[in-house]
Amino acid sequence: MTKTSLYKDTITDLNKIWSDLTKTYLIGDTRAIYLRRFELALSQNCPDTPLWYSPTYMRISSKYPLPKDVSEYISRQRFYLYLQTYEMIMREIGLVGKKDEDAPDVKLFDMKGI
């Protein structure tokens, strides 16, 4: 029996939330809740470990932690730092940029019926 990857559409949400996140930055709404929302979506797309165990994420979040109260505003510079961090992680795991490897065989699974 051949094992194949199960496909769940988590990228559509990730792309929408990323778009929302960059828009909030552009209008100056830099509340931490937007970053946390994106982190949840990004973590679902990390292939090996959750986002919070990424060395890149751990380095930035330990030096520049987000507030516990996610309704708090953070500086535009810190918000932008997290945007850059997320982009670096997305590149590291192959969500952004070109990756030179064969695509896996996948079985489609319809999540709408659940």
pTM of this structure: 0.79
Q: What is the dihedral of CA 55, 78, 35, 72, to 10 degrees?
A: 130
Determine the structural domain holding residue 41 and report its residue range: 5-108
The answer as to whether 113 is a domain residue is no
The whole-number mean pLDDT for each consecutive block of 10 residues of the chain, a chain of 114 residues, reads 69 94 98 98 93 97 97 98 97 82 60 58
The answer as to whether 24 is a domain residue is yes
The answer as to whether 17 is a domain residue is yes
The count of structural domains within the chain is 1
Residue 16: per-residue pLDDT: 96
The answer as to whether 93 is a domain residue is yes
Q: Is the CB of residue 22 less than 8 Å from the CB of residue 77?
A: no
pLDDT 10s digits, 78-96: 999 999 999 999 999 999 8
Beta-bridge partner residues of 5:
106
Instruction: Name every residue whose Cβ is closer than 8 Å to that of residue 64 and which is 6 or more positions away in sequence.
Output: 78, 81, 82
